Structure 1
Amino acid sequence: MKKLSILFLALIIVAAATVSASAKCKYPGIEISEKQGVGHYLTDDNGMALYWFTKDSPGTSTCAGPCLEKWPAFYHEKFVKPKALSMEEFGTIMRADGKPQLTFRGYPLYLFAGDKAAGNTNGQGVNNVWFVVNPGNFPPK
């Protein structure tokens, strides 16, 4: 009987731990990656590079219509930031189309449709107006 009680108690503990673990929500993350020739840059938690558009200004996105097809606005309501950065460096704007977009130090963040796999930075330098976000040197002066 004592062995049965111990086994039952162990099952209850395992079940409670499983419920507790599944109840925790894992938010998407933003990370800092590094690549030769590019340096450090922000990525989403899938390793996809985050970009900024030099025609934007703090708090304002100018990429609309066909631009957004190639450069989708990046947004997550809740996310985990890199340890090296503070939450105050991130924000949210409402775009002219009424949709939210995440910002870094005021500038809207984008993905690039031409990046097909983690670690791709195919948008770097496109038309000399699209660049990865290097948190150590952003915004460039």
Structure 2
Amino acid sequence: MTVRLLPTLALSLTAVFATLAHAEPAAKMAGGMLVNTSGMTLYTFDKDVAGSGKSTCNGPCATLWPPAAVAADAKAEGDLSIVTRDDGSKQWAYKGKPVYTYAADKKPGDVTGDNFKDVWHVIK
């Protein structure tokens, strides 16, 4: 009986590893803009400098513009990289610029923060 279960176990493990290998990316293009895995719009902040590895949006700014948090096991790939915030947490960056969601966006596809104070922009 044990010998007959081995092929079934092998096929099951293959399916699990194939699923893990195709995990959803941290961000993707949807409707011409970059969104997170929940479909929420991602933004950049003009005061952040691409490639600096740092976010300038902290404290109350980060409450209104939550940083796109990085899961502990996440790996940067393509145009996505990871920056370390002042508090030590990790944040996604797109082409070197930290990315954020906007607290006033309530559902996927909302873009209420685009051009906010002429310094926040949807990533297109």
| 1:9-67 deviation per Cα after TM superposition (whole angstroms, max 9, x unaligned) | 5x654444334333542534221112xxxxx2111122111110111112231101011
- Residue aligning to 2:74: 78
Q: Which runs of 4+ in 1 moved over 3 A?
A: 11-16
1:93 aligns with 2:83: yes
Partner in structure 1 of residue 105 of structure 2: 115
Q: Which residue of 2 aligns with 1:65?
A: 59
1:41 and 2:33 aligned? yes
Say which of 92, 104, 116 aligns to 1:102.
Answer: 92
* 2:110 is the counterpart of 1:130: no
Q: Is residue 22 from structure 1 mapped to residue 16 from structure 2 by the alignment?
A: yes
Q: Look at both structures and tell me which one has the larger radius of gyration over its CA atoms.
A: 1
Task: With the length of structure 2 as denominator, give the TM-score of the two structures.
Answer: 0.76
Q: Secondary structure at the match of 1:18?
A: helix
How many residues end up aligned between the 2 structures?
A: 116
Unaligned runs of 5+ in 1: 35-39, 82-86, 135-141
Corresponding residue number in structure 2 for 1:84: none
Instruction: Give the TM-score normalised by the residue count of structure 1.
Output: 0.68
Indicate the residue corresponding to 1:138 in structure 2.
Answer: none
